[in-house]
Amino acid sequence: MKLFRLFKTTLALSILLSALVLAEGHLVIIGGGEKLVDIKKKIVELAGGDKAKIVIFPNASSYPYESGERHRQQFELFGAEKVSVIYCLGDSLNMKEVVDLVKEATCVFFGGGDQVKLTDELRGTKAFEAVKEVYKRGGVVSGTSAGAAVMSKVMITGNELINKDSSRIFWQIQKGNVELKEGFGFLEDVIIDQHFVVRKRHNRLISVLLEQKVKVGIAIDESTALIVKPGRKYEVLGESLVLVYDARKVKNVTTDKNGHLCGQGIKLDIYKSGDKIRID
């Protein structure tokens, strides 16, 4: 009898844990760019098709009204039932009507611009707590460019701390040069980078991985998305590539007299649209 009760308890816990995993929704992380038709159609599909209710935060942009309106029109064109843009700052992001609008959403979308501006304005607000609830109950959280960078807990800001020559951006694999801040943390065990192939951001991501405790970097090119499914299953969609750098087995991390970072054992895999990614 005790063995049977133990079995029932174990089974119940297993079902509960499975439900918790399945309760997580989808992340659709876009590397920026303009050719996003197939990706935005996929976002609408994942968010419920003609029942999709999408909320857009354009806070990262220096031109939030133009950015928000462009995304709104596209999502409406692709069949979403309701698309709302939240043009709010400060305490307005704690207002009940704003929070309720987010809570009823099946998808939240972060536009591009400055990721630090986005995290500074949303973090700690009731509206952002509602965003996390959307994801936990199975909704979609998506973002492009800056809206992609915020997805990981360790967030690359785009700023350099040592090199100030704007004509030679991230031109070295250099210790202490890449400025990092805390992102929204939907992914805690990887670091996201965007516009990757087009803007040749290889040096900065390798620098980060050699210095940080998080040792996996996912680099998404323009007009391309990484779809993160429940249970942390990854798939690529779009026009270009996703690169995965794995430095978990890196050895002999050192610097030379010029501060160049060195190490051996970094693995690089490159994926195209339709490919599934496994990160053990």
Q: What is the rounded (10 degree) CA torsion for 77, 82, 86, 92?
A: 170
> Would residue 19 count as lying in a domain?
no
Tell me if 58 sits within 8 A of 67, measured CB to CB: yes
What pLDDT, on the 0 to 100 scale, is given for residue 167? 84
> Which residue did the predictor score with more confidence, 22 or 67?
67
Give the residue among 122, 189, 117, 121 at the shortest CA–CA distance from 158.
Answer: 117
> Would residue 259 count as lying in a domain?
yes
Mean pLDDT of 185-201: 97
- pLDDT interval class at 13 (50, 70, 90): very low
Mapped onto helix, strand or coil, the DSSP state of residue 11 is: helix
What pLDDT, on the 0 to 100 scale, is given for residue 165? 85
Cα 61 from Cα 65, distance rounded (Å): 9
Whether this prediction's pTM lies above 0.85 is answered by yes
The DSSP annotation for 62-120 comes to SSHHHHHHHHHHHHHHTT-SEEEE----GGGGG-HHHHHHHHT-SEEEE-SS-HHHHHH
> Would residue 200 count as lying in a domain?
yes
> Would residue 150 count as lying in a domain?
yes
The DSSP annotation for 21-62 comes to HHH--EEEEE---S--HHHHHHHHHHTTGGG-EEEEE-TTSS
What pLDDT, on the 0 to 100 scale, is given for residue 7? 42
> Would residue 121 count as lying in a domain?
yes
Predicted confidence (pLDDT) per residue in 75-125, tens digit: 999 999 999 999 999 999 999 999 999 999 999 999 999 999 999 999 999
> Would residue 8 count as lying in a domain?
no
Structural domains counted in the chain: 1
> Would residue 11 count as lying in a domain?
no
Q: Give residue 154's domain range.
A: 24-277
> Would residue 143 count as lying in a domain?
yes
Angle of helix 96-103 relative to helix 126-136, nearest 10 degrees? Answer: 10
Chain-wide mean pLDDT for the chain?
A: 92
Predicted confidence (pLDDT) per residue in 259-275, tens digit: 999 999 999 999 999 99
